[in-house]
Amino acid sequence: MTQDGRMEKIISLAKRRGFIFSGSEIYGGLAGIYDFGPRGVELLSNLKKSWWKANVYDKENAYGLDAGIFKHPRTWEASGHIGGFSDPLAECRNCNARIRVDKELAKIGVTADEKMSEDAINDLFDQHRGEIACPSCGKKEFSRVRAFNLLVKSNLGDFTSEGADPVYLPGEACQGIYLDYKNIVDSMSPKIPFAVAQIGKAFRNEISPRNFLFRMREFEQADTQLFIRPHANKHAYETLKKDRWSWFLSLGISEKRLRFKQHENLVFYAKDAWDIEYEFPWGFDEVEGVHDRTDYDLSQHEKFSGVNLHYTDPETGEKYIPWILETSMGMGRVFLAVLCDAYCEDEMDGETRVVLKLAPHLAPVKAMVSPLLKNKPELVAKAREVYAALKKVVPQIAWDDNGNIGKRYRRQDEIGTPFCITIDFDTLGEHPDLADTVTLRHRDSGEQERLTIADVAERLRAAVE
Ligand code: GAP
């Protein structure tokens, strides 16, 4: 249990209220695979919309892309993933559980450099074998460490099943941007500096998927690649970092639970790397990487494909390979950060309630409409009318007439619905001054106000933008 079981409570709520399901659950599940349920898919889509707005629509020189998942096998040789994209793995001799040696070493305060050779990490592991216990059975007997490549193989187009030249699933989504860079330059004539943004799937054979959506084997990455003039990286990098920080704050995430952390060990493609970390219930951990990739990727693809990927600068006429600054965020990780940050237990009307204090633009349901009493046909008819009218303004509106009004509020609080709208006898004109008005209840404070239906529609429109 972490922090009074906070993580377990969030996972339970996510399943119970239709946000996240374990993949293939009826067959016992599949490690590292999760599905977004009816409410999860709405929250995810709202996150994507917000990210796309900030990274494409609000920028002057940014282009969207949606590249195919499968890529030519040479892509992964050029990118360096076939040679260098591996984690150090050892197997428990007693129960065959696999451990990620660098992570286990980190738990006892020992750092394993990402660029270490297999021999070097074996030497380091040998020095600490006695201190590391198998997380499954507790024994301390492990095999030799070997580098385990994380790329997931497919048999696309392999009709002989010999497995020669496999087509890999993408280990990182951004490779699609590099493969289409020339097409974008030729079709859109972008002026440097320009950015290409994409939300795409990535797959990694993670040795030990863990922490719910945090480390999965199938996940989505929201990437931007900023193409800049060679050596123009310093100022642009700082601007990019600030820009990303502001976006995380725009999600309503509390600033004290965010931090930047510079990488001590750089992956093979990066010259500099900073992570935006969120304080999850188990501690600070990476949500997004901001990487200075220099001309590594385009130079590699030029070399391996034989296609000229030089850019002709429209201002100076110079020809060069642009340098790249990348932002790469796991959609599952930001989703989880938003859930963790919004999850709250507080007191209302003398009861403890669970509430997701989601920013209204992220909430899966924007408002719930209900009649005060279910057994009064005239109230139900009016409430149905209001529900239909509001749904035309903001489609994510729920109907609930089950149980008493207090129970309805609690159900909506748990899924983060910012507003509840109740139709009562005054709406019908019992008190003539209040005809066609409703009560609007605010999720976080529980306060209620009386508004006309037209004003409620305006409030909703404004709140979800
Ligand atoms: N293109 C650069 C790249 O892929 P990365 O640091 O390996 O860099 C970027 O990944 C982001 O993708 C991470 O910050 C994280 O949010 C997300 N990510 C990476 N591995 C993941 C996994 N196994 N499960 C969920 N998200 C993951």
pLDDT tens digits, the chain, 465 residues: what are they? 456 799 999 999 999 999 999 999 999 999 999 999 999 999 999 999 999 999 999 999 999 999 999 999 999 999 999 988 889 999 999 999 999 999 899 899 998 887 788 899 999 999 999 999 999 999 999 999 999 999 999 999 877 767 677 899 999 999 999 999 999 999 999 999 999 999 999 999 999 899 999 999 999 999 999 999 999 988 999 999 999 999 999 999 999 999 999 998 788 788 899 999 999 999 999 999 999 999 999 999 999 999 999 999 999 999 999 999 999 999 999 999 999 999 999 999 899 999 999 999 999 999 999 999 999 999 999 999 999 999 999 999 999 999 999 999 999 999 999 999 999 999 999 999 999 999 999 999 999 999 999 999 999 999 888
Q: What is the pLDDT of residue 339?
A: 98
Does 330 sit in the ligand 1 pocket, CB within 6 Å? Answer: yes
Instruction: List b or e across 168-192, with b for residues whose CB sees 16 or more CB atoms inside 10 angstroms.
Output: bbbbbbbbbbbbbbbebbeeeebeb
Does 328 sit in the ligand 1 pocket, CB within 6 Å? Answer: yes
Q: What is the pLDDT of residue 184?
A: 98
Contact between 135 and 97 (Cβ < 8 Å): yes
Euclidean distance between CA atoms 405 and 67, whole angstroms: 48
Does 174 sit in the ligand 1 pocket, CB within 6 Å? Answer: yes
Q: What is the pLDDT of residue 1?
A: 43
Cα 75 to averaged position of ligand 1 atoms, centre (Å) = 18
Instruction: List b or e across 25-63, with b for residues whose CB sees 16 or more CB atoms inside 10 angstroms.
Output: eeeeeeebebebbebbebbbebbeebbbebbbeebeebb
User: Atom 21 of ligand 1 has which residue's CA nearest to it?
Assistant: 215
Euclidean distance between CA atoms 333 and 276, whole angstroms: 11
Euclidean distance between CA atoms 345 and 420, whole angstroms: 19
Does 172 sit in the ligand 1 pocket, CB within 6 Å? Answer: yes
Estimate to the nearest angstrom the gap between the alpha carbon of 401 and the chain centroid: 34
Q: What is the pLDDT of residue 163?
A: 66
Question: Helix, strand, or coil here: 447?
Answer: coil
Does 332 sit in the ligand 1 pocket, CB within 6 Å? Answer: yes
How many of the other CB atoms lie within 10 Å of CB of 426?
Answer: 18
Q: Ligand 1 pocket check: which of 175, 247, 286 to mutate, most ligand atoms within 8 Å of Cβ?
A: 286
Bridge partners for 215 per DSSP: 210
Structure tokens at 182: 């020339």
Contact between 398 and 363 (Cβ < 8 Å): no
Q: Which atom of ligand 1 is nearest to the CA of 209?
A: 23
Does 297 sit in the ligand 1 pocket, CB within 6 Å? Answer: no
Q: What is the pLDDT of residue 161?
A: 65
Does 219 sit in the ligand 1 pocket, CB within 6 Å? Answer: yes
